[in-house]
Amino acid sequence: MGRMVALLRAVNVGGRKLPMAELRALCGTLGWTDVATYIQSGNLVFSAPGTADEIETVLEKAIEKAFGLDVPVIVRSKAEWTKYPGLNPFPRAAKDEPAKLHLVLSKKPPARGAADTIQARAKAGEQVRQAGDALWLHYPEGAGTSKLTPSLIDRAIGSPGTARNYNTLLKLLEMLEA
């Protein structure tokens, strides 16, 4: 059984309610262990057998059945997750304004040129870089004011993605290592 992180996209926003206590209980019924969540935005740390793709499919189907929600799930192993801080192309932002630095992960690796496509639409000093299987976005004015919408980012990447700020990345890493 490997330690994993699952990121659920767009839960507990816009009427898409998914209580974290119920999500943890659902994961327990799947035979997963050491299940923990972080805040209400769909961050899950757990131990389970199988590949990331298998776990994504199992959890998506279980959420659909239990809650009636179509929720894209993106899973990374502990080994993959521990590499992200070192791949960060914006070390100054990570240190000075970690809430404005976002890691974007997607179900499939980003399409060639995804970062350039998104960067071409950036305003207000926003910066986009790709490192490995992730995109990194720095929002100096904050993500809430950005015109870089999830649908624009998904189209550029070529598959559903979800973002977490640098503080969340580090908290999930801490949970994985606990």
Q: What is the pLDDT of residue 67?
A: 93
CA distance 23 to 148: 29
Give the mean model confidence (pLDDT) for residues 14-37: 92
pLDDT band at 90 (very low <50, low <70, confident <90, very high): very high
Mean pLDDT in the chain?
94
Share of the chain above pLDDT 70, in %: 98
Calculate ∠ Cα 115-117-123, nearest 5°.
90
Q: What is the pLDDT of residue 10?
A: 78
Q: What is the pLDDT of residue 144?
A: 87
Residue 103 backbone phi and psi in degrees, to 5? -95, 125
Exposure string of 107-143, with b = 16+ CB inside 10 Å and e = fewer, is beebeeebbebbbeebeeebbbbbbeebbbbbbeeeb
Q: Is the pLDDT score of 11 beyond 90?
A: no
**134: its two tokens:** 């992730």
Domain boundaries 80-177, CATH class: alpha beta
For the chain, the structural domain boundaries read 2-79, 80-177
Give the mean model confidence (pLDDT) for residues 151-165: 95
Q: Is the pLDDT score of 16 beyond 90?
A: no
pLDDT in tens, 34-83: 999 999 888 999 999 999 999 999 999 999 999 999 999 999 999 999 99
Q: Do domains 2-79 and 80-177 have the same CATH topology?
A: yes
User: For tokens 């986009």, what's the residue?
Assistant: 128
pLDDT in tens, 133-154: 999 999 999 998 899 999 999 9
CATH homologous superfamily of 2-79 equals SP0830-like domains (3.30.70.1280)
Helices 20-29/52-67 angle, 10° precision: 120
Q: Is the pLDDT score of 12 beyond 70?
A: no
Please report, in angstroms and rounded to a whole number, the separation of the first and last CA atoms in the chain.
16
Calculate ∠ Cα 6-24-62, nearest 5°.
70
Q: What is the pLDDT of residue 1?
A: 77
